Structure 1
Amino acid sequence: MKTITQLKKRLALPQTSWQLCLLAAIGGFASAMLVVLFIFTIEGVQSFFLSEKDDYSSLTPLSRFQLPIIGAIVILFFAWLTGYKYIRSGIPFVLHRLKIANGVMPFRNTVNQFMGSAVALIAGFSVGREGPAVHLGAACTSYIGNKLNLPYNAIRSLSACGIAAGIAACFNTPIAAVLFVMEVILREYKVHIFIPVMIAAIVGSMTTSTIFGPTHEFGHFTAITINTDHYLALALLGIVLGFFAFIFNRYLILVIKHSAPFHIVSRILTAAIITGALGYAAPYAMGTDLSAINFSLQNNFQLQLLLGLLVAKVLMTIFALGLGIPGGIIGPILGIGAIAGICGSVITSYFMTGDISASDFALMGMAGFMAATLNAPLAALLCVVELSDQIEIIVPAMIVITSACVFSGQFFGNRSIFIMQLEVQGLPYRRPPIEKSLQRIGVIGVMDENITLLHKATDETITTALINQNPQDNVICKITSTDNQTEFIFYQQSQAKIDDVPTIEKHTLIPLSSQSTLAEAYLLLVKTRAGGVYIYQDNPDEIMGIISFDYIRSYLLKGNTY
């Protein structure tokens, strides 16, 4: 027991520790295996009615119309089992839980995420796998942390590790996964979190590489042929993508906002009918992104066909995600960006001589559209580098990304689609700077264990204890009432004096779980700005240590926990 307590104390501090790294590796493997099960579920069911995975063109037009409606009914069935109370899922919900609940994910939301997203991807909705992978990874690692009763700041770090492992397992892009977590999810760079996140991403990528092979689904991109003559065209492409990202984000948020008053049943069925109708005419727009990208690369000189596919893909994605179909957004925006980039290559070929590779512009479109839509330039850059396995793509991609992000943000005020989703759905995702700072430290790691515990509170015993105590000890009296309610009273000498005799202050300590962080302690004491909290492990009647408001004030002023 003492060893476990020492482990928790170590994990409660914002320091790099081998214990957290080990837990990150274990959690990363577990998250990756859950993602593997998710992928096998999708591909296993698809193999019964598709000639190839995500190839909905092999179905008859009527089947393509009916399939999303059948899928919507199944999704609603799982939602009905939970009373429609646990249908929120995906990256915005994970962001909300990470900021407000230290990454602890409700079990029923996770079940709905797994089953609902699997059905949505099987049925051809234009959603991605990475949203479920993020949710499942965070849920898996936070479950491990909760089972071990780890401090909440450690569970929060483990949730970030699970997210990185889930993305790395989904795309086989560990570096992009790490940057996505730091840039989009946590929005901070701390070494004690950065290293475990890297370990989890490596383990997640290695796990799926061992099972599915070392290559990824985007390995068909050819060697890059872009040169300096194309840089102006790339800058213009970035500007167009930035404007396109603003339009995409704006209308997705409008759909979410205006559909919110309607019941989930009508919203899901409406999304299914729209997907089925568009899939009837444009089968390659169904599913995540591979089908649309492959078709675009094979038909890259037919501009009208590409534009029609682009419009269908955008509408499918906006209505599917906006009306509540469970799934991710990154896969579809990679597909939309690739099609837009190929359209750009066709248009550019009218004004430039020489060979212009549609594959190159597809990668540029993916980078620029992802960066501007998510407001995540570094994650987008590393994503296309890893997907293409080409280091030479860095400079051209940076040109597209910077022009897209600057134009989208400067002229249209575009922001991350995740933040916009959180705001329109009324999900809080921000904490004041003081709470954010205190959230990084678990109370078990900094509690004061030097206690003189009294079982009888009389003026004589209290005065004697205060005079004779070790200067570092805290005088606390345990009082049990007739109805077996236990209170801990904290006594200390006041600065105020009566006839040159120090007066004695007493404060009733507030119970606080050993899993909590300093942020929770601060919120309990901030109104009175005095007294303290006592820390307990399993039994609220047993005190482990205390944290006074004076200590929290000292930490905020001095910036250290020692």
Structure 2
Amino acid sequence: MAFFYAVIYLPTRSLIGSDFDSFELLSVEWRIGLSLSACVVLALLFTVVPRKLQKVGVPYVIERLNHHHGNLPVWNAVVQFFSAAIALVGGLSIGKEGPAVHLGATLGGYLAEKAKLPQYGVETLLACGVAGAISAIFQTPLAGVLFAFEVIFLEYRQRYVLPVLLSSVIATIVSHYVIGPLDIFSIESISSVLLSTDLFVACSILVVVIVLLSALFLHTQKSLWRFSGVSIWWRFLLVAIATTLAAIYLPESLGSGYLSLSRLLSGDLVLYSLLLLIVVKTVLTALTIGLGIPGGMIGPTFIIGGLAGVQVALVFDNNVADIALFALLGMAAMMAACFQAPLTALVAIIEMTHSSAAIVPALFVIVLACLLVRVFCHQESVFVERLSFMGMSSTISPFQRYLRHHTVKPVAEEVLMFPEVVSIERVKDLASSMVDYIAFEHGDELRLLRRKAVLDALIMLDQGPQIWLVSEEDKVKMNLSLALDSVSIPVIDEPSSLEAMLAWFQETGLTEVLVSTSSDSYSLVSRHRVDQFLLKSD
């Protein structure tokens, strides 16, 4: 994430100066040139890159988590890295959080794959990657953890909390050490908040504004998703035209747009309609992302909500302290409404601004905005809506989740490995063994026998010499393939979860299989034992 940050901001700092994301400080020619160049380069890139590698972003992470066991191809992350960097350097109206989530999740999934972890281990490392990425980009460790659970997993996973917290904290420390402190907003004027009727009336109006903006943001994107089959050149050309117009007439809407909000919070007022900037920023971001530009939405929604909060505060003729308060409330409400992540939004503004004075009114606007968006707009998280549009579910059934959280160990029975010709003494030792099955190699296959059947065959020695008796090195041995009718049994590597094991039984129609747990160790797994486990656990 530190490298991603450097790739984005070192070029822009060399062009703009000390302030990054401040494209309004550039000349009109530079702004137009950057936005057009970014769209052309991205169109060329996506024309060359295979279509399967063009899938990037948070919806793709959720799709791979739910439908592909968290397997995220590395080359998709490479495409995400460079495409997002190009778009951000070009000043397109996107954020860096979506690409950060994709990169972090890919790293977690890659490490889990190399370590051959079970499914719950894959999900744990994927959550660690997501939380670490958000924490490194914003330096908000707790918000990173909540984002992983509320936005990616869509539920809280208690068993994942400790490693995800550790990943998030370490990512913040590394980011702080490499990049330095990221004080995006400096809000020192809020010392206490006086709860009053006027405050909650203003908050209610802010909620209405946020709900309208979030509906505009989502429905603009939904109307553009249907054009995903149109040529990339036409789609990116439309983005280039819209961004160029914004670069000429309203440059504050370019990039993440933090500078305009920071100026408002410091007491500087814009010279044109703030409402116009809010609407343009909302539509431009939705247009850019809806037409396929790979970027994030968290940063832009923060800015849109913050500007909306300032607009409401100015309508009520409040002082600068109240402007800062309503900016915070708008940021939290807009993020919560768009992503249906109330706790993430609340904690994010607290950690980003180092101020907890706004918790009570923030909870009020967050809860009310989320409820109104759900009830009246029938709107889920923008990522959930995107997956639904693609015909995919954003969640898995409780039954699938239960299977994924268990390995085959609860249903596996230990198997002793014997040579095909075994000494009588070793066969007699089976009488004191607690293992019910033995396996031996016969040619290129493994055959399975019950321990009790082998012992019963040994008793037949009392009736005289048997056909399976073999003399080797002055020792009497038993040939297992001659002593008993054995069955050949398939061998597979240990599945990542019970879900994968059950899927194997359903695909093959077999009822038993030997699972290789190490180079010379095997366990027997049967469909009957799996069914018993599920019925017992209900």
Question: Is the TM-score greater than 0.5?
Answer: yes
Distance in 1, matches of 2:503 and 2:322, equals 58
CA contact (8 A) 2:132 2:172 kept: yes
Change (3 A) 1:302 1:117: closer
Q: Tell me whether 1:473 sits opposite 2:436 in the alignment.
A: yes
RMSD: 3.1
> Which structure 1 residue ranges, 5 or more long, are not aligned?
1-34, 458-463, 494-503
* Partner in structure 2 of residue 341 of structure 1: 309
Deviations 1:315-336 (A, max 9, x none): 2101111011111110110011
Give the match's secondary structure for 2:51. Answer: coil
Distance in 1, matches of 2:513 and 2:215, equals 48
Distance in 2, matches of 1:380 and 1:217, equals 16
Q: Tell me whether 1:268 sits opposite 2:236 in the alignment.
A: yes
Deviation at 1:151, TM superposition (A): 2.5
* Partner in structure 1 of residue 334 of structure 2: 369
CA contact (8 A) 1:41 1:118 kept: yes
CA contact (8 A) 1:507 1:531 kept: no
* Partner in structure 2 of residue 436 of structure 1: 401
Give the match's secondary structure for 1:547. Answer: strand
- 1:158-173 mapped onto 2 (5 Å cutoff): 158-173=125-140
- 1:196 pairs with one of 159, 163, 169: 163
Q: Tell me whether 1:547 sits opposite 2:525 in the alignment.
A: yes
Deviation at 1:54, TM superposition (A): 1.3
* Partner in structure 2 of residue 310 of structure 1: 278
* Partner in structure 2 of residue 217 of structure 1: 184
Q: Which amino acid aligns with 2:211?
A: G
Deviation at 1:283, TM superposition (A): 0.7
* Partner in structure 2 of residue 3 of structure 1: none
CA contact (8 A) 2:190 2:357 kept: no
- 1:56-455 mapped onto 2 (5 Å cutoff): 56-220=23-187, 222-224=189-191, 226-229=193-196, 230-256=199-225, 258-297=226-265, 305-349=273-317, 357-443=322-408, 445-446=409-410, 448=412, 450-453=414-417
Give the match's secondary structure for 1:451. Answer: strand
Deviation at 1:314, TM superposition (A): 1.0
CA contact (8 A) 1:289 1:334 kept: no
CA contact (8 A) 1:239 1:403 kept: no
Give the match's secondary structure for 1:414. Answer: coil
Q: Which amino acid aligns with 1:423?
A: S
Q: Percent identity?
A: 28
Deviation at 1:265, TM superposition (A): 3.0
Worse-matched range after superposition: 288-297 or 60-69: 288-297
Q: Which amino acid aligns with 1:294?
A: S
Q: Which amino acid aligns with 1:333?
A: T
Change (3 A) 1:288 1:301: closer
Distance in 1, matches of 2:112 and 2:305, equals 37
Change (3 A) 1:505 1:488: closer
Deviations 1:10-43 (A, max 9, x none): xxxxxxxxxxxxxxxxxxxxxxxxx000001111
Q: Which amino acid aligns with 1:241?
A: I
Distance in 2, matches of 1:508 and 1:358, equals 76
Change (3 A) 1:426 1:295: farther
TM-score using structure 1 length:
0.81
Q: Which amino acid aligns with 2:370?
A: C
Which structure has the larger Rg?
A: 2
CA contact (8 A) 2:38 2:87 kept: yes
Give the match's secondary structure for 2:363. Answer: helix
* Partner in structure 2 of residue 531 of structure 1: 511
Q: Which amino acid aligns with 2:16?
A: L
CA contact (8 A) 2:267 2:320 kept: no
* Partner in structure 2 of residue 498 of structure 1: none
Change (3 A) 1:157 1:511: farther
Q: Which amino acid aligns with 1:342?
A: V
Change (3 A) 1:479 1:362: farther
TM-score using structure 2 length:
0.84
Worse-matched range after superposition: 234-243 or 360-369: 234-243
Deviation at 1:472, TM superposition (A): 3.5
